[in-house]
Structure 1
């Protein structure tokens, strides 16, 4: 597996992987209309292209033999300042892997990159949002020193999802 920064030409592949990953894990939770609108807004090729070009974001790809296996997005700003404990807080926005490649160390490689990048940026805390029912992801994040700091929510169309804000102080 190789890691490399996303380029503008990667937007379509990232949008596709984002849609497939989200639908595989969470698609059953939403009405067809809410899901379609959310995916069109949050995982469109145009939105991904803007994120890749945004100097406040870092987007890293995991690939093997030219195949996209996963990606991670970091926002170099604090997502939830009301819950910040550090002075320079960044947000881990998404860490997605191809649904067919889960359990192959892709998430670990991307998480290691995210923590290293956060430190290199001078961050002293990383925040992320995780669905309250996603126990597998919560265990994954806990292995990297993240813990719950607040109850928050996430809207997908008209549906309000109960989420946990996880964070890790960097030392």
Structure 2
């Protein structure tokens, strides 16, 4: 498996993987219209293309044999300033793996990259949101030193999901 930064030509593949991963993990939670609208808005080729081009984002891909296995997005600004404990906070926006490739260390490689970028950016805190019912993801983040700092929510259409804001203070801060 190798990691490489996303380029505009990756937009369609990233959008497809984002949609598939979201539907497999969370699709059962939503009505058809809410889910379709959310996917069209949040995981469109155009939105992904804008994210890749955004100088305040970093998008890293995990690949093997030409196949996209996962991706991680970092926003180099604070997503939840009202909960920030640090002075230079970044957000881990998404860490997705192909549903057919989980358990292969993809998430760990991408998380290692994210924390390395945070360190090189001199971030003193990294924030992320995780669905309150996603215990597997919460355990994964806890292994990397993230802990719950607040209750937040995430809207998918008309449905409000209860989420946890997890954060990790970086060493030396």
TM-score under structure 1 length normalisation: 1.00
Q: Structure 2: which 5+ residue stretches go unaligned? A: none
TM-score under structure 2 length normalisation: 0.99
Q: Structure 1: which 5+ residue stretches go unaligned? A: none
Partner residue in 1 for 2:137: 137
Partner residue in 2 for 1:159: 159
Q: How big is each residue's C-alpha offset from its partner over 1:17-59, in whole Å with a ceiling of 9 and x where there is no partner?
A: 0000000000000000000000000000000000000000000
Deviation at 1:158, TM superposition (A): 0.1
Deviation at 1:104, TM superposition (A): 0.4
Partner residue in 2 for 1:67: 67
Structure 2 CA distance, aligned partners of 1:21 and 1:121? 29
Structure 2 CA distance, aligned partners of 1:43 and 1:118? 24
Partner residue in 1 for 2:42: 42
Structure 1 CA distance, aligned partners of 2:101 and 2:65? 14
1:146 and 2:141 equivalent? Answer: no
Deviation at 1:93, TM superposition (A): 0.1
Structure 2 CA distance, aligned partners of 1:137 and 1:103? 12
Three-state SS of the structure 2 residue aligned to 1:104 is coil
Three-state SS of the structure 1 residue aligned to 2:77 is coil
Partner residue in 2 for 1:91: 91
Q: How big is each residue's C-alpha offset from its partner over 1:102-139, in whole Å with a ceiling of 9 and x where there is no partner?
A: 11000000000000001101100000000000000000
Partner residue in 1 for 2:82: 82
Three-state SS of the structure 1 residue aligned to 2:99 is coil
User: Could you say what the CA RMSD is over the residues aligned between the two structures, in angstroms?
Assistant: 0.2
Structure 2 CA distance, aligned partners of 1:100 and 1:143? 23
